[in-house]
Amino acid sequence: MNKTILNIKNLKKFFFHQNEKVEVLKNLNFSIKKGDLIALTGPSGSGKSTLLHLIALMEKPSSGKIFFLEKNTNDINENEINKIRKFNISLIFQNNNLISDLNVIENVMLPLLIRQENYKKSYEKSKKILSLVNLSKRLKFYPSDLSGGEQQRVAIARSLIAETDLILADEPTGNLDYQTSKEIFNYFIKLKKMKKTILFATHNRELANKADYKLSISNGNIKRINGKK
Ligand SMILES: Nc1ncnc2c1ncn2[C@@H]1O[C@H](COP(=O)(O)OP(=O)(O)OP(=O)(O)O)[C@@H](O)[C@H]1O
Ligand SMILES: [Mg+2]
């Protein structure tokens, strides 16, 4: 049986907006196994991005616990969090978050350079992964000279290159055409075969149905909807 990579216990997240409490995630309990490919669904504003940011350890829960590989992430210090974010978890943001002063290939290489991997090898690996997302002709372009979909593909390449255990993707195919979306999804399947775990938020019903199962958020609660397995 596959190991549990993520275990969520009584997770709550609320915000205060103009003195009013906005309860986004009410009391989530679920776990994810290594090698699962999961679609995170739910209406706009239901809390998908919020949940991904919590799992990526970019934000703290209001209460509750997130266990990553059996480690309670509430109990670990900033150093350990940075280490996990460098080596174990990557997030493809809904709004790309590319660095505007770096060109395409530099943006993609970044996670490897931060880990102090060899420059030349990182460059070659970036080139390869950029050809996979059909961007070989844009290596030296800056983000501002790319279309929205191209920027998104750079962000996907940057996240995939790190080959972390857990890949979180926030509407990774939101700006992409049908064919490119399918190619990205096929790459997710390839990563799954490498025992990577992928949790992707999406409004695309067809892609969501291709996942192993869906986690659907509504009214602050999460529900598992079994798919093809
Ligand atoms: N910092 C914040 N302060 C107050 N409210 C917030 C904050 N961040 C998010 N919210 C609220 O939390 C709710 C969930 O937002 P979130 O971005 O997680 O939704 P989503 O499911 O990702 O939506 P979409 O499909 O549109 O991307 C929204 O109603 C939003 O207004
Ligand atoms: Mg969102």
- Which residue's CA is the closest to the ligand 1 atom numbered 10? 15
**Stretch 30-38: mean pLDDT:** 96
DSSP 39-107: EEE--TTSSHHHHHHHHTTSS--SEEEEEETTEEGGGS-HHHHHHHHHHTEEEE-TT----TTS-HHHH
Per the CB < 8 A criterion, the answer to whether 89 and 82 are in contact is no
What is the model's pLDDT at position 118?
96
- Tokens representing 99 are 């660095």
Domain limits, the chain:
34-64+79-226
Q: 24 in ligand 1 pocket by Cβ < 6 Å? A: yes
Q: How far is the CA of 22 from the centre of ligand 1 (A)?
A: 9
**Stretch 85-100: mean pLDDT:** 87
What is the model's pLDDT at position 51?
97
Atom of ligand 1 nearest to the CA of 46: 21
- Name residues with Cβ closer than 5 Å to ligand 2, which is an ion: 48-49, 94
Rg of the chain in Å (alpha carbons): 17
Nearest alpha-carbon partner for 13 in 55, 57, 50, 52 = 50
What is the model's pLDDT at position 228?
61
pLDDT tens by residue, 122-177: 999 999 999 988 899 999 999 999 988 889 889 989 988 988 999 999 988 887 88
The set of long-range contacts for 12-18, using a CB threshold of 8 Å and a minimum separation of 24, is 12/61, 12/62, 12/63, 12/64, 13/47, 13/50, 13/51, 13/54, 13/59, 13/61, 13/62, 14/62
Beta bridge partners of 66: 8
**Stretch 172-186: mean pLDDT:** 82
Higher pLDDT, 203 or 175: 203
* b/e per residue 63-74 (b: at least 16 CB within 10 A): ebebbbeeeebe
Look at the domain 34-64+79-226 and name its fold: Rossmann fold (3.40.50)
- Calpha distance 58→127 (Å, rounded): 28
With a pLDDT cut of 90, the percent of the chain lying above it is 73
- Calpha distance 19→15 (Å, rounded): 9
pTM: 0.92
pLDDT tens by residue, 60-90: 999 999 999 999 999 999 999 999 998 999 9
pLDDT tens by residue, 204-219: 999 999 999 999 999 9
- Which residue's CA is the closest to the ligand 1 atom numbered 17? 49
